[in-house]
């Protein structure tokens, strides 16, 4: 059976985990705490796993890759679109630290409840680092905009306009678009630099 250390070592060797802060976050926020009970023995498999409601907990390789692209920093304010079971939420909380904020929005209320329970072990909500929001992430979360960073877990047809509006100048969006990951750096009020990374699969971003 795979172990957390073996998973992390393989992600480092394959070049997906690079920065020490993200490696430390992977060690501290145990993926096993965020997979359903009947899949605990597969928690360290480098694959996406079902978490119910037609959603998955993302493949560790993809999470590592996206977090390295996002470059979360201590003290930043980050919007996460798609809480899922809360694993990436916990990783982000670890990366922004107690001076940072993670606003995580989820449209499936049952998943939000599961994430809330999963994150209890880490105390990030109680410390005020994480705020879980029930809602449609397609429209972002304007109440606490602008954000330093925005990251999404599900694939849209294009980056929603609301996210572009809610990211600050100098901020970054990392999000799946169809079969690729897009990185948008906001360099002016309506100006973005874009990088594309191909060869990925995600569940679709659903909007009501």
- The catalytic position among 10, 19, 28, 58 is 58
Strands (E), the chain: 49-52, 55-57, 77-81, 101-106, 130-134, 147-152, 167-177, 180-188, 191-198
> H-type helices in the chain, by residue range?
4-13, 20-28, 60-70, 87-96, 109-119, 161-166
Please report, to the nearest 10 degrees, the dihedral formed by the alpha carbons of residues 41, 44, 47, 53 taken in order: 60
Do residues 37 and 65 touch, judged by C-beta distance below 8 A?
no
Nearest-angstrom CA–CA distance, 112 and 170: 30
Q: Helix 109-119 vs helix 87-96: angle between axes, to the nearest 10 degrees?
A: 50
Query: What are the tokens at 9?
Result: 């070592």
The DSSP output letter for 123 is: T
Do residues 82 and 203 touch, judged by C-beta distance below 8 A?
no
Instruction: Report the b/e string of 10-25 with b at 16+ CB within 10 A.
Output: bbeeeebbeeeebeeb
Query: Is 58 a known active-site residue?
Result: yes
Catalytic residue positions, numbered: 58
């Amino acid at each position: 059976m795979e172990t957390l250390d073996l998973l992390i070592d393989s992600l480092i060797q394959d070049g997906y985990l690079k920065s020490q802060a993200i490696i430390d976050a992977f060690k501290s926020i145990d993926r096993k705490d965020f997979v359903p009970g009947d899949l605990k023995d597969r928690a360290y498999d480098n694959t996406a796993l079902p978490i119910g409601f037609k959603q998955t907990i993302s493949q560790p390789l993809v999470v590592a890759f996206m977090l390295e692209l996002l470059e979360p920093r201590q003290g930043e304010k980050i919007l996460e679109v798609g809480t899922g079971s809360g694993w990436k939420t916990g990783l982000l909380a670890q990366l922004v630290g107690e001076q940072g904020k993670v606003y995580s929005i989820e449209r499936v209320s049952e998943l939000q409840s599961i994430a809330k329970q999963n994150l209890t072990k880490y105390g990030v909500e109680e410390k005020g680092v994480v705020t879980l929001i029930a809602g449609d992430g397609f429209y972002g979360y304007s109440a606490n905009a602008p954000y330093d960073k925005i990251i999404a877990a599900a694939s849209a047809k294009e980056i929603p306009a609301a996210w572009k509006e809610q990211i600050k100048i100098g901020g970054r969006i990392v999000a799946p678009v169809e079969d690729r990951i897009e990185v948008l750096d906001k360099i002016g009020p309506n100006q973005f630099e874009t990088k594309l990374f191909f060869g990925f699969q995600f569940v679709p971003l659903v909007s009501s």
